[in-house]
Amino acid sequence: MFLLKFLGSATVIIFILGIRVISQWERGIIFRFGKYLKELQPGLNWVIPIIDSIYHVDMRIRTMDVVPQEVMTKDSVPTKIDAVVYYQIFDAQRSVTAVESFAYASTLLAQSKLRDVVGKYDLDTLLGSKERIGNEVLQILQIPTDEWGVNIKSVEIKNIELPDNMKRAMAKESEASREKKARLIKASAEEEASRMFVNAARTIAEHPNALVLRQLQTWQEIGAEQNSLIILVPTEFAKIIGQKQT
């Protein structure tokens, strides 16, 4: 009788100790005596205590910050680049059995490949093509990580840090470019204005009455701006006075 109670209690204890709950975003990898047995799906599962060991593998999309890397560009400009890698495990078994630590291995691999890719481009291309460089690093990372059961979703270049002297040089270059553009615009405006003056002079020469209208308009503008009194002298009267003075 005592033996039956003991066996019953032991069975209940073993059953309780073997209960395992796998979350919806996880997979459970079972090893029996160190050998891979099967993959547990989300929900309530049971394993043999002590004999079976279980590894929980997160199947969600995860992020991995790449440590800022000191990189020399193709045109010998030292830069510091940091990036972020988005990845997801698609094979829970291989992520445990094929590599010791897939997160650490992926980080080192991303650092190495990022330096290799950036070193092939000059500074202008690097600053203007961050998305293309990220895609190139992604394609390079995808091949070895597939063997680990890891799918690289995206590689984003977060920041490109330049030396202070390079920043000052780029600022001076940008300022000179803006000044050049301003001078070209001003010269173009003066050229267009000179052509319009020539056309206006030609029109006035061909139509004498146009000169009189222009004079009246000028007097009106002077009187409105300077608030002064203008006395108009007839042209014929002015000629008579001029003749008498001579």
Residues 158 and 67 grouped into a single domain: yes
Domain count, the chain: 3
Q: What does the alpha-carbon distance between residue 140 and residue 111 come to, in Å, rounded to a whole number?
A: 12
Q: Is the pLDDT of residue 90 over 80?
A: yes
Q: In what order do the strands lie in the sheet with 78-89?
A: 62-72, 78-89, 150-161
Residue 154 sits in which domain range? Answer: 62-162
Axis-axis angle for helices 102-118, 130-146 (nearest 10): 140
- DSSP single-letter state for residue 24: T
Residues 70 and 53 grouped into a single domain: no
> Cα(first)–Cα(last) distance of the chain, in Å?
154
Residues 152 and 68 grouped into a single domain: yes
Q: Is the pLDDT of residue 93 over 70?
A: yes
Q: What is the pLDDT of residue 181?
A: 84
Residues 197 and 238 grouped into a single domain: yes
Give the mean model confidence (pLDDT) for residues 123-152: 84
Q: What does the alpha-carbon distance between residue 23 and residue 41 come to, in Å, rounded to a whole number?
A: 9
Residues 66 and 53 grouped into a single domain: no
Please state which of the ranges 49-58, 83-92, 114-123 shows the lowest mean pLDDT: 114-123
Among 1-5, 77-81, 176-180, top mean pLDDT goes to 77-81
Residues 75 and 158 grouped into a single domain: yes
Residues 37 and 72 grouped into a single domain: no
Write the CATH number for 93.
3.30.479.30
Q: Is the pLDDT of residue 220 over 70?
A: no
Tokens 């701006």 — which residue?
Answer: 225
Give the mean model confidence (pLDDT) for residues 68-91: 84
At which of 14, 35, 58 does a domain end? Answer: 58
Residues 50 and 123 grouped into a single domain: no
Please state which of the ranges 2-16, 68-82, 90-104 shows the lowest mean pLDDT: 2-16
Contact 67, 54 (CB under 8 A): no
pLDDT band at residue 226 under the 50/70/90 scheme: low
Residues 84 and 155 grouped into a single domain: yes
Residues 211 and 130 grouped into a single domain: no
Residues 31 and 86 grouped into a single domain: no
At which of 105, 136, 162 does a domain end? Answer: 162
pTM surpassing 0.85? no
Residues 130 and 189 grouped into a single domain: no
Q: Is the pLDDT of residue 75 over 80?
A: no
Cβ partners under 8 Å of residue 87, min gap 6? 61, 62, 64, 106, 145, 150, 151, 152, 153
Q: In what order do the strands lie in the sheet with 35-40?
A: 35-40, 26-32, 52-58
Q: What does the alpha-carbon distance between residue 168 and residue 96 come to, in Å, rounded to a whole number?
A: 49
Axis-axis angle for helices 208-226, 164-206 (nearest 10): 130
Q: What does the alpha-carbon distance between residue 86 and residue 138 come to, in Å, rounded to a whole number?
A: 10
At which of 129, 162, 195 does a domain end? Answer: 162
Q: What is the pLDDT of residue 182?
A: 81
Amino acid at 19: I
pLDDT tens-place string over residues 17-35: 888 888 888 998 999 888 8
Q: What is the pLDDT of residue 236?
A: 54
Q: What is the pLDDT of residue 227?
A: 62
**What is the number of residues in the chain?**
246
Amino acid at 95: S
